[in-house]
Amino acid sequence: MTTVHEPTTPVTPPDLSVWPASTTEPGPGDLAVGGVPLAEVADRFGTPVYVLDEAEVRDRCRTYRDAFPDAEVLYAAKAFLCRAMAHWTDDEGLGLDVCSAGELELAVTTGFPAERIVLHGNAKSPRDLETALRLGVGRIVIDSPSEIARLAAAVGPDGHQKVMVRVVPGISAGGHDKIRTGTDDQQFGLSIADGYAQHAIARILDQPQLELTGLHCHLGSQITSVKSYLAAVRRMVGLMSRLHEQHGLALPELDLGGGHGIAYRPGEEALDLTALARKVRTELADACTAAGLPVPRLIIEPGRAIVGPAGIALYRVLSVKRTGHHVFVAVDGGMGDNPRPALYGVRYAPRLIGRHSTATPAPVTVVGRHCEAGDILAADVELPADTRPGDLLAVPVAGAYHLSMASGYNLVGRPPVAAVRDGIARILVRRESLEDIRGRDVGL
C-alpha cells in the first residue's frame, strides 16, 4: 500500500526585526518576551497591558554608553517614566532629562541623583522651578527670555544654578510636522536668526548666580538622517564662536538633544547610532578646530530609542465588523492609551498571538473602543481572515509615548505596565481603577 502525502505550505517564520531581542516563538502562534509568553501576561494581568522588556531597556542604555563613551547620555523621561525605569537608567550610568516637577520628584524620590538631572520645558511653571532648585537639579535649560529673571530671582543673590540655553538652529527634521522643533516657526527655544538667543545669553551673563555651561538644541523627533545632526553641530559651533569673540566665552558643553528615529514596522529605516556617534564626533572636532575653540563635552538625550522597541502593547479583540469594503477589528484599548496614531498618523504592525491560525492574511483596520472616528490603532494591516472576538493582538515598539500620553477619555482607566525578565513578569505600574477615578472626583 502506497502512502500519499498531501503537499503542505511552508510556514513563514514571523518577522521579529522590530521586536525585543529576547522575543521567541515557543510554538506556532505564540510569542514570548523575556522568557514569558505574552498570552500568559494577558491572562494574568488583563488587557490592555503594556509589557516592558527590562533586559532590552538596559541593553539599549549600554549601547548608547558604548557609542558615546565621552559624552553625557541623558534618558528623556517624557518617553516613559516610572520608578523602575528611573532605577534602570541610573543603574546603567545614564542621566535624566525631565520636563516637569512631577517627573523630577518621581525620579529623585526613587533615588536618582538630582545633580544628574536636567530640567527642560518651554513654559516652566513656578512649581517646576521651585522644585528644581529645592531638589538641587544639575542644570536648567532656559527656553525663553522671561525665565532668566524669574530663575535669577528664585535662586537669590547668594545662590547658584547651572543653566543652558535652548537655541533654535533653523533646521527642519523629524517624522511629522507636529514633532519638528528645530525651526524658527514653533514655540521652543530661542532663535539664532533673529538674535534672541544671543540677547538671552548676554542677559544670563549679567546674572552672577546663573552659570552658563553650554548650549542646547533639539531638532525634533523620529529623525533617521545623520545629516541633520551634523548641520546642527556646524550652526551651534558657529554661535559658540561668535560668543567667544563677543564675551570671551569658551562654553564647556553642547547638548544636541535626541529625537533618534526607530523602526516601528519591519523594513522601516532607523537612525544609525554608530554612524551618528562617529560623524558627530568628527564634525564637532573639525568645527571647533576651525573656530579655534576647545571641543565641548557632548550631551545627547535619547528617549524613544531606548524604551520604544522594548515595549509591547497587548489588546483583546472585542468585535469584528465588516462595513462595505472594510473590515474593522475593534480592541479593548485605543486612543486613550495610545493617541499617537490620531496625533501623528503613526503606523504599527500588530500580530495575532495566543493561537495558531492557518487562515489567509486579509487587510483590516484595527480600531479602539473610544467614541472618535479617529480612534484607529493600525490602518490597513494584515491579520488572519479568521480573526475573531476574544483573540489577542500584540503591538510591538510600544514602549515610548503610549502610557506617558494616555488620557482619561471615557473614564476607561489607563493600562498597567508589566516588566519581563528571565522568565518572570511583575507589575511596575498598576491598572488605573474605577476607585482611582472616583477618588479624584470630590465635588457634587
pLDDT tens for 128-155 read: 999 999 999 999 999 988 899 999 999 9
- CATH code: domain of residue 171: 3.20.20.10
pLDDT tens for 374-424 read: 999 999 999 999 999 999 999 999 999 999 999 999 999 999 999 999 999
- Among the candidates 269, 290, 307, a domain finishes at 307
Q: If you search the block for the grid coordinates 569658551, which residue do you land on?
A: 250
What pLDDT, on the 0 to 100 scale, is given for residue 325? 85
What distance in Å separates the CA atoms of residue 259 and residue 74, rounded to the nearest whole number?
Answer: 12
| Res 7 pLDDT > 60 | no
Residue 37, preceding peptide bond in cis (omega within 30° of 0): no
Minimum mean pLDDT range among 167-171, 232-236, 368-372, 384-388? 167-171
- Cβ neighbours, 10 Å, residue 422: 10
Please state the domain count of the chain. 2
| Res 175 pLDDT > 90 | no
| Res 53 pLDDT > 70 | yes
3-state secondary structure of 218: coil
| Res 254 pLDDT > 60 | yes
- CATH code: domain of residue 373: 2.40.37.10
Contact call for residues 35 and 420 (beta carbons, < 8 A): yes
What pLDDT, on the 0 to 100 scale, is given for residue 9? 44
Set of cell numbers at residue 257: 538633544
Set of cell numbers at residue 412: 476607561
The catalytic residue among 61, 217, 288, 371 is 371
9 in a structural domain: no
17 in a structural domain: no
Segment 113-142 mean pLDDT? 95
Segment 259-263 mean pLDDT? 95
Indicate whether 111 and 228 sit together in one domain: yes
Query: What's the helix, strand, coil split of the chain in %, to 5?
Result: 35, 25, 45
| Res 224 pLDDT > 90 | yes
Percent of the chain, pLDDT > 90? Answer: 83
10 in a structural domain: no
Q: What confidence tier does 185 reach under pLDDT thresholds 50, 70, 90?
A: low
Residue 251, CA distances (Å) to 61, 114, 219, 294 in order: 27, 22, 20, 8
Indicate whether 174 and 47 sit together in one domain: no
Indicate whether 185 and 133 sit together in one domain: yes
- Among the candidates 289, 307, 325, a domain finishes at 307
- Among the candidates 249, 282, 307, a domain finishes at 307
pTM: 0.92
27 in a structural domain: no
Segment 209-218 mean pLDDT? 95
- Cβ neighbours, 10 Å, residue 383: 24
16 in a structural domain: no
Segment 73-92 mean pLDDT? 98
3-state secondary structure of 97: strand
Q: Which helix (H) or strand (E) holds 165?
A: strand 161-168
Segment 184-198 mean pLDDT? 72
* Residue 409 one-letter amino acid: Y
| Res 192 pLDDT > 90 | no
Indicate whether 130 and 149 sit together in one domain: yes
Q: Is 371 a catalytic residue?
A: yes
pLDDT tens for 267-294 read: 999 999 999 999 999 999 999 999 999 9
Indicate whether 285 and 184 sit together in one domain: yes
Phi, psi of 356 (to 5 degrees): -95, 125
Q: Where are the alpha helices (DSSP H) in 141-266?
A: 145-155, 196-205, 226-247
Angle between helices 101-110 and 126-135 (to 10 degrees): 20
Q: Which of 6-15, 42-51, 138-147, 372-381 has the highest mean pLDDT?
A: 42-51
Minimum mean pLDDT range among 89-103, 226-240, 296-310? 226-240
Indicate whether 265 and 315 sit together in one domain: no
DSSP label at 115?
A: G
pLDDT tens for 425-442 read: 999 999 999 999 999 999
What distance in Å separates the CA atoms of residue 185 and residue 190, rounded to the nearest whole number?
Answer: 11
4 in a structural domain: no
Contact call for residues 406 and 432 (beta carbons, < 8 A): no
Indicate whether 217 and 274 sit together in one domain: yes
Set of cell numbers at residue 209: 548666580
Indicate whether 232 and 323 sit together in one domain: no
Indicate whether 374 and 272 sit together in one domain: no
Q: If you search the block for the grid coordinates 488583563, which residue do you land on?
A: 46
Percent of the chain, pLDDT > 70? Answer: 93
* Residue 317 one-letter amino acid: V
Indicate whether 237 and 346 sit together in one domain: no
Q: Which domain holds residue 43?
A: 32-52+309-440
Minimum mean pLDDT range among 84-98, 153-167, 192-206, 299-313? 192-206
403 in a structural domain: yes
Residue 290, CA distances (Å) to 10, 287, 294 in order: 60, 5, 10
List CB contacts of 369: < 8 A, sequence separation 6 or more: 318, 330, 331, 332, 333, 334, 336, 375, 410, 412
Of residues 188 and 246, more confidently modeled? 246
What pLDDT, on the 0 to 100 scale, is given for residue 373? 87
What distance in Å separates the CA atoms of residue 56 and residue 362, rounded to the nearest whole number?
Answer: 32
What pLDDT, on the 0 to 100 scale, is given for residue 237? 95
Indicate whether 218 and 317 sit together in one domain: no
Biggest CA-to-CA distance, the chain: 100
Indicate whether 171 and 139 sit together in one domain: yes
Dihedral (C-alpha) 115, 90, 225, 231: value to the nearest 10 degrees?
Answer: 20
Could you report how far apart the first and last alpha carbons of the chain are, in Å? 83
Contact call for residues 301 and 255 (beta carbons, < 8 A): yes
What distance in Å separates the CA atoms of residue 86 and residue 59, rounded to the nearest whole number?
Answer: 15
What pLDDT, on the 0 to 100 scale, is given for residue 197? 85
Q: Where are the alpha helices (DSSP H) in 95-225?
A: 101-110, 126-135, 145-155, 196-205
Set of cell numbers at residue 437: 477615578
132 in a structural domain: yes
What pLDDT, on the 0 to 100 scale, is given for residue 324? 83
| Res 177 pLDDT > 50 | no
Minimum mean pLDDT range among 76-80, 123-127, 178-182, 319-323? 178-182
Angle between helices 226-247 and 196-205 (to 10 degrees): 50
